[in-house]
Structure 1
Amino acid sequence: MRSHRGSFDTDLVNQAYQAWDAEDWPRAGELLERAVRQAPDARGSDKLWFDAALAYKFLRDWPKAYELGLEAAARARRGKEDPAFWNLGIVATVLRDWATARDCWQGYGLPIPPGEGEILEDFGPTCVRINTATGQEVVWAQRLCPTRARVLNVPLDPGRRFGEVVLHDGVPNGERVFQGQAVPVFDEILLFTPSELPTLSVTVTASAPDDIEALLEAFARDNLGAEPSDTVKPLCSCCSEGSVTQERTVEAGRKSMLLAAPEQRAAELLDRWHAERPDDRSWTGLHPAS
């Protein structure tokens, strides 16, 4: 770790990585920063800056992770998928520093269009493992940038909502396969933008699968959520973090539905759906989910 630009205290670095191995992030971050500031541009300093920033990211100390992440990115090669840019891109997004976030994604090597303000692009479908009051749930989402996605499912836990934007990590932790297309599952870091749409529950009766499809499409046209609650399959953590093939099947009959909509608007859409085929469609018991 020696260079013409100074050297690190190797004992300090060793202590830092002992703390790292023990997941003692406050001590690891503090010691790594102390060590690298002794010789900020010595050989190997890029790794110490990066790991120090990462430790504070684990701590959710975003200002400190940003400060150290800037140092790590300044020593990274642009366009070579250097993780220093990705890590700082996440932190800058949390802090809503959109100029730095754009520069980081471009520095990493991603085709981010030029612009100003919040990044709202279409990076395609993905899945996110969100945190709920009772554990975790994998939901489908649309990626808005490399680290944010808008939830497209109605979560089972009413504490989470259709349409909310979540910030997720950059390393996949599982995958879902739908219609032959594999998409990654990312772990949620935090809720970025809450959704104002409440989660409702209703019981519907339909004579044919097409009747259920018509109801789903009616809500989708209003940018609202609707899905049968029996389509959710519980998985153990080991299976959830593996590759899971999903098939979308809609069955007729009497079933519970989860809706994401203002209650009055949901009732209007349900009434319209019923009126189109009153002998084949009915609904009852619309109420807030709990």
Structure 2
Amino acid sequence: MTVSKWPGFKRQRGPREVWSEWTAADESGEAERAAILAAEMLQMAPGSFDAWFHAGLLSKALGEWGQSMERNARALELFTPEAAEEFDGVNPAAWNLGIAATALGDWATARRAWEAYGVQGIGGGSGPIDSDFGVVPIRLNPDQPSLPHQVPPSAGATEVVWCWRRSPAHAVIANVPLPESRHRFKDVVLHDGEPKGFRRLGAQAVPVFDQLQRLEDSGLPTWEARITGAAPDDIRELSSHLEQRGLGLDDWSGIRVMCSQCSHGTPDHAHHHEPAPSDVARLGLAGHEGELNRILEAWMGSRPAVDLDLTLLG
């Protein structure tokens, strides 16, 4: 008996076909299939910068930091003059390598990556990077993914907070986040490098970066203080006392809750999100109870008309 065979049986697929299937899997949101095709593509085209870079990008989206670091390191080695022309002379694999290495605490690799990207002033060595990159707004618990297959961190509610940026990929939270965000003052967060909206810092528009992961929980408790009878100068003095001791204060009564459209854009006065007026100052405080109470008692000692209600939030 003769058995007919399917014409495509054992047919060897080429890189173009695998790339096409991978792109289709990306567009349809098939993360598992995309990962399989990415690995297959790397076997077929081991000398291709594009293959290693896009595979590293997929690993980044999935939070597979070890794999992302390996793939972007290989892409860094394969960066050609043609690729440099396409990316205006900047190697995007170096940036993603720096993010992955920061996530893993591999500071020597992160330093090499930032140097390859052209970031100045970080230097060599293997110790943690703790440079002053200014202050930036970072979106905690982003409400939209940045890449195909990415599942953004969702510890709590989305909130944009100002942070002290310590490297191109990590920062320390400088605000006292609202308790709904499930983050704390001085938490260390990993963040992406693509702007996702802007905020004003004086006359300057500063890009908002999306959080990728929380690297360190500061452990500093968050409190809510409801204060009546205090003038703005009184609040500023309290803030100064707390800041001198490394503790946090934010005026939560002045927070604007924005729609997603404005949050991901450049908020302006044409679209208002003003807080409701109140005679009660609602402050977010961060610090351990004993030290916080000593500062508050000293501050209130010369202000008999001030009334304060302090609540631990977490």
- The answer to whether TM tops 0.5 is yes
Alignment RMSD: 2.3
CA contact (8 A) 2:226 2:280 kept: yes
* SS at structure 1 position matched to 2:109: helix
CA contact (8 A) 1:202 1:283 kept: no
**1:53 deviation in Å?**
1.0
Q: Distance in 2 between matches of 1:129 and 1:162?
A: 14
Aligned equivalent of 1:156, options 178, 181, 201: 178
1:272 to 298, 310, 314: 298
Q: What's 2:71 paired with?
A: 68
Cross-structure match for 1:126: 136
Q: Does 1:141 align with 2:173?
A: no
Aligned to 1:278, the other structure's residue is in SS state coil
Q: How many residues align?
A: 276
What letter corresponds to residue 122 of structure 1 in structure 2?
D
More strand by share: 1
Which of residues 184, 191, 195 is equivalent to 1:172?
Answer: 195
Alpha-carbon separation, structure 2, partners of 1:226 and 1:244:
24
Q: What letter is aligned with 1:32?
A: A
Aligned AA (2:195): P
Q: Deviations over 1:151-181 (max 9, x none)?
A: 0110112621000010001101011012112
Task: Please show how residues 172-191 of structure 1 align to structure 2 within 5 Å.
Answer: 172-191=195-214
User: What TM-score does the superposition give when structure 2 sets the normalisation length?
Assistant: 0.82
C-alpha deviation, 1:231, in angstroms: 1.6
- Which structure 1 residue ranges, 5 or more long, are not aligned? 1-6
For residue 243 of structure 1, give the secondary structure of its aligned residue in structure 2. Answer: coil
The answer to whether the 8 Å contact 1:267/1:286 transfers is no
Q: Distance in 2 between matches of 1:202 and 1:286?
A: 4
Question: Which range moved further: 66-75 or 213-222?
Answer: 66-75
Equivalent residue, structure 1, for 2:44: 38
Alignment partners' CA distance in 1, 2:307 and 2:126: 46
Note the C-alpha offset of 1:133.
4.9
Change (3 A) 1:199 1:207: closer
Per-residue CA deviation, residues 174-205 of structure 1 (Å, 9 max, x unaligned), is: 11012112211000000011111000112223
User: Scaled by the length of structure 1, what TM-score is found?
Assistant: 0.88
Residue deviations 1:15-74 (CA, integer Å, cap 9, x gap): 111111123233223212312322322xxx111111111111111112222221221111
Q: Is the 8 A contact 1:28 1:52 kept in 2?
A: no
- The answer as to 2:90 corresponding to 1:81 is yes
Aligned position for 2:24: 18
Match of 1:3 in 2: none
Partner of 1:4: none
SS at match of 2:74: helix
State the 1:76 CA deviation.
2.2
CA contact (8 A) 1:208 1:252 kept: no
